[in-house]
Amino acid sequence: MAIDLILGLQWGDEGKGKIVDVLTDNYDIIARFQGGPNAGHTLEFDGKKHVLHTIPSGIFHPNSLNLIGNGVVIDPISLKSEIDSLVPYKIDFSKKLLISKKAHLILPTHKILDAASEEAKGKSKIGSTLKGIGPTYMDKTGRNGIRVGDILSKNWKTKYLKLTKKHLGILKSYNLTKKYDLNLNENVFFKSIEKLRKLQLIDSEQFLMNSKKNGMKILGEGAQGSLLDVDFGTYPFVTSSTTTAAGACIGLGVAPNQIGEVFGIFKAYSTRVGSGPFPTELFNSEGTIMAKVGNEYGSTTGRARRCGWIDLVSLKYSVNINGVTKLMMMKGDVLSGFKKIKICTSYLINGIEIDYFPYDTNTDNLKPIYKELPGWDEDLTSITKFSDLPKNFVKYISFLENALEVPIEIVSVGPDRKQTIFK
């Protein structure tokens, strides 16, 4: 049986957490394949909102197993506080949460290095979440990292001290004005390592292989979005992992021919948090309305998200790179009340029109070209049937489906689990 994937097609925060939660009833295992606590995946049900950072979004379902794959980078402090915050839900983490021994650990010094790197970049900073993601993946590919499995060996502290020392050396090489707190709060870190040690630390690729053989259904949960992919995103304003479908092969140990459905999620408009090019960004009242109605504040950092119209050029690119088989459109409700809905269909770069996502999307030289469709006034948030959706909203959906050549199977009209329409 193949493994299905859910991944974001824009710059993250498309609503992956909500949809994974909605779909978990159909799966036995939810497996996160990349990223780390830079992610903030929001779920809402029974009038409560939950933001998950490292724990997969299937955790609230009684029968689901939730795996943190080898491609994820784990901050033990952040993971412990996430687990602690879920105590009222009586989730048995020792049974429901599985962690790959091959996942890499984020150390306190990785977070300091992240902050120092951003400071050194000055105006051209990435806008990192400062969770230590870049430095941890650098240590992974530089073959210096510490893996979850290492904490099971007696000499792991020697490894920790060696790497920390190296980090402090690197920090000295920066010409920084800001003072960093080098009091590493090691007590908190080591306590959280103790907590991690008590969880099920496994050879997760083997576990997935066996589960698959036994007929269990597996859903891979991506973090971030395709335009933040380290290769295909708006480099260097990207994250440090492979956020596209290939990242699931690497981050779970699943062969490409074992991937089944690839569910691509996008918002009915665009948002971006942090720096970097954003061709359809709005600086007018339309953008302000999207931000306000859509409550566009980062789930991890609380920063305001930049907003703009939907961008079909980049969406087509994401659909192709990921091999998306089904689309899910989120937050259509936010666009109610706009007289006209704009859809970017091509870019004008230095006077030349192009309809593909190029090497450089620096917005100084780029002008988005829009098609306009009529808007709708109806409130969508309590609609439960596709046939009850306003005519102009359905026209918008059909236009996008035709352009992207992939069906939109789910339309989300609010943050709650129940505000989900299956076509």
Q: Report the DSSP pairing between strands 408-412 and 326-330.
A: parallel
Binding at 136: pick from ligand IMO, Mg ion, ligand GDP, none (beta carbon under 5-8 Å per type): none
| Residue number, 32 or 102, with CB nearest to ligand GDP | 32
The size of the interface with ligand GDP (CB under 6 A), counted in residues, is 23
In the shown chain, the binding pattern of residues 226 to 265 toward ligand IMO, with x for contact by CB under 6 A and - for none, equals: --x----------x--------------------------
Residue in 50, 167, 331, 342 binding ligand GDP, rule: CB under 6 A: 331
Beta strands 366-374; 340-349: pairing state: antiparallel
Distance CA(206)–CA(254), nearest Å, equals: 10
Spacing of C-alpha 283 from chain mean position: 25
Closest residue to ligand GDP using C-beta atoms:
42
User: Is residue 56 a contact point for ligand IMO (CB under 6 A)?
Assistant: no
301 sits near ligand GDP (criterion: CB under 6 A): no
Site for ligand GDP in 376-415 (CB under 6 A): 412-415
Under 8 Å CB-to-CB from 312, ≥6 apart: which residues? 343, 344, 345, 400, 403, 404
In the complex, minimum distance from the CB of residue 369 to ligand IMO, in angstroms, rounded to a whole number = 26
Residue from 224, 299, 322, 419 that binds Mg ion (CB under 5 A)? 299
Nearer to ligand GDP, 133 or 163 (CB): 133
Q: Pick the closer one to ligand GDP by CB: 295 or 365.
A: 295
Instruction: Supply the residues annotated as catalytic.
Output: 13, 41
Size (the chain), residues: 423
Q: Does 167 bind ligand GDP (CB under 6 A)?
A: no
Query: Tokens 């395709």 sit at which residue?
Result: 226
Binding part of the chain for Mg ion, among 40-48, 74-82, 171-179, 318-326 by CB under 5 A, reads: 40-48
User: Please, which of residues 342-361 interact with ligand GDP by CB under 6 A?
Assistant: none
Degrees (nearest 5) of the Cα angle 101, 106, 112?
Answer: 170
Q: Which residues between 11 and 30 bind Mg ion (CB under 5 A)? A: 13
Among 24, 57, 129, 419, binds ligand IMO (CB under 6 A): 129
| The entry of ligand GDP, ligand IMO, Mg ion, none that residue 242 binds, CB within 5 to 8 Å by partner kind | none
Instruction: List contacts with ligand IMO (CB under 6 A).
Output: 8, 11-13, 35, 38-41, 126-129, 131, 133-134, 223-225, 228, 239, 273-274, 299
Instruction: List contacts with Mg ion (CB under 5 A).
Output: 13, 40, 299
Instruction: List contacts with ligand GDP (CB under 6 A).
Output: 8, 12-18, 39-42, 44, 294, 299, 330-331, 333-334, 412-415
